[in-house]
Structure 1
Amino acid sequence: MGFLHLPGLGKAHFHEYGSGQKPLLAFHGYGMTGKQFHVLDQSVLPRYHIYGFDHFFHGESRLDGWTEQQILSGMPKAMVRSYMEEWFKLYGRQRFSVMGYSIGANLALILVEEYADMIDDIILMAPDGLAVFKGFHFILHNKLGRAIFRTATKSKWLAPFLVKSVKRVGVIDESLYKIAYNEIDTEQKRLDTYYTLNLIRQLKPDVQKVAQLINQHKIKCLLIFGKHDKLFPKSAAMPFLGMLDNAEVHEVELGHWLVTKALDEYLVK
């Protein structure tokens, strides 16, 4: 494990694991850390040496001197380049692969935009960034939605009420409800959620450009979706999938909570 000192941003903490030789930069889902992919010890870890990054407001990554106003404005997309440039300073300029689960897929996809000619493989699991998720768009880009999100962050009862309400109408299932509720049961957790989602609000990949680059550079592309995922289902990603020449796509009998031993066993088979 170690840190990348990202100019103008802060310290990005990463975990190293895996017995393979090929370097793979990995970005986890909300509420987890860069260790999340440890569970894929039969399928992914034997092939790659993983550098799993903690998102800011997760694990040991820390912003440096950012004001609340800066956080709410969001991290500029161009700053994602600094992950690779600082990583190259430590390990040398070389070919690499990327992996992203859920919100972490946004960073993986942006790295494809910037470094497609150096990327061997991209692995995406229940990926955000391939289509607009209306719920996130409302609370991050709509004036009313942003006001509700901020109010819910400060309230002990409103956030749990809203999560229960969206479960009741079927927007999320029981597993997502448990995950969401566990991340809002204290004021600090609610604030971390608020800051995390606002910080990444500008990190939206150009999916048409990404698809063109994957095809042009013949990047090996593996995409995995949960058949019961209500957040980022395969159906929402179909326009992107239709642009790819030769992607390997799987839909497994799981929900959004996808990075599990069950997935590891499926990939081995």
Structure 2
Amino acid sequence: MKSAHLHIRISAHQKIMGFLYLPGLGKAHFHEYGTGQKPMLAFHGYGMTGKQFQVLERSILPKYHIYGFDHFFHGGSKLEGWTEEQITAGMPKDMVRVYMQEWFKMYGEQRFSVMGYSIGANLALILLEEYAHLIDDVILMAPDGLSVYKGFHFLLHNPLGKFLFRRVTKSKWLAPFVLKTVKRTGLIDHNLYQIAYNEIDTEQKRLDTYYTLNLIRLLKPDVEKVAIQINQYKINCQLIFGKDDKLFPKSAAMPFIEKLDNAEVHELALGHWLVIKALDEYLVQ
């Protein structure tokens, strides 16, 4: 059944917020914005909130009604009843289905689109893997999930990496030292350094970083299946990369891109920090 919610138009600057109560997880906070009629579930990058895509006011917002979700340990989303042991073990991938099950209960089962930036692309891709028959469009920006980033894999899956990650989280001086060292090696640029540094300057922020990355450690899409689904259901697929992105460059995603029949691929003269006014202007042109 189509939801009457889709017939309510909101102005570009009017924002609505709500919660999905996800059994076994907690409260997922979301932001609604955009003047378009097509529903789109959107997942932001690390350290941001579901409001991140508001900057795309001329390119994306006129086409879609965005439901921008806060990741757990971000914004207003609250993981409930999980121990630290459960968090570090990781959220089972099949729990991502709960987002759609509860969203459908609230708005009715209907066609929708997905969008994800950086780590948020993992959730968008898993939803595509599960609900391709209902998805119209997928927009991925500097997406995680299309290839393995060795740095994250070391911290989250290697025993030594996991030990070091925990030690860095507990230390006031070690986290900034490691970050500066990584910057000197060229693995991250100045913008990424600034973003990361702002997320480790207090113990609570370091703990949130540790919990966030561990919680999503198992949320890796089956990219072979995703590519097949995109082609089979003729889903409009737009992939956007930064030429100077050190984390998730276009080159790492090429094996996936080459499997797609009609993907629209863009590469901008930017780094990983893509969801900015310049991207909005580029997409409009």
Between the two proteins, the alignment pairs up a number of residues equal to 269
Q: How big is each residue's C-alpha offset from its partner over 1:221-258, in whole Å with a ceiling of 9 and x where there is no partner? A: 00000011000000000000000000000000111000
Residue of structure 2 aligned with 1:234, choices 250, 273, 276? 250
Structure 1 CA distance for aligned equivalents of residues 116 and 257 of structure 2: 16
Structure 2 CA distance for aligned equivalents of residues 181 and 2 of structure 1: 30
Residue of structure 2 aligned with 1:60, choices 50, 69, 76? 76
Structure 2 equivalent of residue 117 of structure 1: 133
Structure 2 equivalent of residue 84 of structure 1: 100
Structure 2 CA distance for aligned equivalents of residues 172 and 58 of structure 1: 22
The aligned runs of 1:37-48 (5 Å cut-off) are: 37-48=53-64
TM superposition shift of 1:64: 1.0
Structure 1 equivalent of residue 35 of structure 2: 19
Given the alignment of the two structures, is residue 197 of structure 1 paired with residue 216 of structure 2, yes or no? no
Q: How big is each residue's C-alpha offset from its partner over 1:28-47, in whole Å with a ceiling of 9 and x where there is no partner? A: 00000000000000000000
Residue of structure 1 aligned with 2:228, choices 209, 212, 215? 212
Structure 1 equivalent of residue 240 of structure 2: 224
TM superposition shift of 1:61: 0.2
- SS of residue in 2 equivalent to 1:236: helix
TM superposition shift of 1:168: 0.4
Given the alignment of the two structures, is residue 10 of structure 1 paired with residue 26 of structure 2, yes or no? yes
In the superposition, the TM-score normalised over structure 2's length comes to: 0.94
Structure 2 equivalent of residue 184 of structure 1: 200
Given the alignment of the two structures, is residue 164 of structure 1 paired with residue 180 of structure 2, yes or no? yes
- SS of residue in 1 equivalent to 2:239: strand
Structure 1 equivalent of residue 45 of structure 2: 29
Given the alignment of the two structures, is residue 97 of structure 1 paired with residue 81 of structure 2, yes or no? no
Structure 1 stretches lacking a partner, 5+ long: none
The share of aligned pairs that are identical, in percent, is 80
Output the amino acid matched with 2:33. Answer: Y
Structure 2 CA distance for aligned equivalents of residues 169 and 249 of structure 1: 29
Q: How big is each residue's C-alpha offset from its partner over 1:9-32, in whole Å with a ceiling of 9 and x where there is no partner? A: 100000000000000000000000
Residue of structure 1 aligned with 2:85, choices 39, 51, 69? 69
Structure 1 equivalent of residue 267 of structure 2: 251
Note the aligned Cα RMSD (angstroms): 0.3
Structure 1 CA distance for aligned equivalents of residues 226 and 173 of structure 2: 41
- SS of residue in 2 equivalent to 1:243: coil
Structure 2 stretches lacking a partner, 5+ long: 1-16
Residue of structure 2 aligned with 1:129, choices 122, 130, 145? 145
TM superposition shift of 1:174: 0.7
